[in-house]
Every structure is written in structure tokens, then in C-alpha cells.
């Protein structure tokens, strides 16, 4: 079992003992998502795959939250925010703007990217370094603007 998976299991146990029902429900969603893939693919997930799952869960909740804001459903926005906060506890620490800029610029230099056509190459280098640590949509937009001005 990966270290991250052990951390998630320990958090579930402590939430149970503390009687934190909402927190426990979110942690169970996480473990359920992990188990689903492990059963479907008949493998044990490593930390990298688990981080990708958590990142996807956060992204889904951000999208839902945006829709709920448009519909003026503050109760559901609050629920999504709470879930995002809990999921993010298990993700690596977020990158600073400076760290993101360094990773993106380094990838552009390594690939020799000169136009928007090279976006895939740059994203291929950037994604493994930032997954779960920054919003991929935001990074994609940043790379696009850098490549379109070159």
C-alpha cells in the first residue's frame, strides 16, 4: 500500500473516532475512487496515480461549484468548498507562481517550443511536475499565451 493510501486510511480512522461525519464521507469518496480503479485495473495504485485521482476530484468539485454559484445555490457551493479543502489535504503542497513560471519556462526551453503547435510537447513535460499542485487549466492558458507571443 502506498504512503498516500496509508495516510488516507489513517485519516478515515481518525475521522471515525472523532465523529466527523462530513469529513469521513469525503474520505470514503476518495477511498472508493481509488478502490474502483484498483479493482477495474487489478493493480495497486502508487502515489502518483492517487494524486491524479485526487486532482481530478478537486477539478470536478471546482466545476460543480462554478455551476452552483451561477444557480445561486450557496449551500451547495459551501459543500463543494468543504470537500475541496478535505481532498486538498492529501495533495502535495501547491506551487508558488514563481515555481510554476520556472517549470513552464524550463519546459519551453527544453522542447525548443516556438509556437502554439508545440503546446503538446511543453504540456508533456510540465504535467508530471505539477499535477495535483496547480490548476492544469490555468497552466495550459499560461503556456498558450507564452507560445502565442513568441
Q: Tell whether the model's pLDDT for residue 150 goes beyond 70.
A: no
Side-chain half-sphere CA neighbours of 85 within 13 A: 8
Specify the fold of 3-88: Hypothetical Protein Yqey; Chain: A; domain1 (1.10.1510)
Is residue 129 within 8 A of residue 143, CB to CB? The reply is no
Contact, 47 vs 71, CB < 8 A?
A: no
Residues 6+ apart with CB under 8 A from 23: 11, 15, 86
97-149 topology per CATH: Arc Repressor Mutant, subunit A (1.10.10)
The rounded percent of the chain whose pLDDT value lies above 90 is 77
Question: What's the confidence (pLDDT) of residue 100?
Answer: 92
Percentage of residues in the chain with pLDDT exceeding 70?
Answer: 99
**By the 8 A CB rule, do 102 and 86 touch?**
no
Whether 149 has a pLDDT exceeding 80, the answer reads no
Domain residue limits, the chain? 3-88, 97-149
pLDDT for the residue 35: 97
Q: What is the pLDDT of residues 101-148, one digit of tens each?
A: 999 999 999 999 888 899 999 999 999 999 888 888 889 989 998 888
Predicted structure pTM score: 0.82
Mean pLDDT for the stretch of residues 12-18: 97
Residue 83, classed as helix, strand or coil, is: helix
Does 3-88 match 97-149 in CATH topology?
Answer: no
Amino acid at each position: 500500500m502506498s504512503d498516500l493510501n496509508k495516510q488516507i486510511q489513517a485519516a478515515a480512522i481518525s475521522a471515525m473516532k472523532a465523529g466527523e461525519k462530513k469529513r469521513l464521507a469525503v474520505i470514503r469518496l476518495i477511498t472508493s475512487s481509488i478502490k474502483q480503479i484498483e479493482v477495474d485495473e487489478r493493480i495497486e495504485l502508487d502515489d502518483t496515480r492517487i494524486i491524479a485521482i485526487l486532482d481530478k476530484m478537486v477539478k470536478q468539485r471546482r466545476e460543480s461549484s462554478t455551476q452552483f454559484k451561477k444557480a445561486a445555490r450557496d449551500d451547495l457551493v459551501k459543500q463543494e468548498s468543504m470537500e475541496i479543502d478535505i481532498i486538498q489535504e492529501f495533495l502535495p503542497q501547491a506551487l508558488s507562481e514563481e515555481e510554476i513560471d520556472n517549470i513552464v519556462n524550463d519546459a519551453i526551453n527544453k522542447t525548443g517550443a516556438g509556437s502554439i503547435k508545440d503546446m503538446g510537447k511543453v504540456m508533456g513535460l510540465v504535467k508530471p511536475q505539477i499535477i495535483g499542485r496547480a490548476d492544469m487549466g490555468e497552466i495550459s492558458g499560461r503556456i498558450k499565451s507564452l507560445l502565442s507571443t513568441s
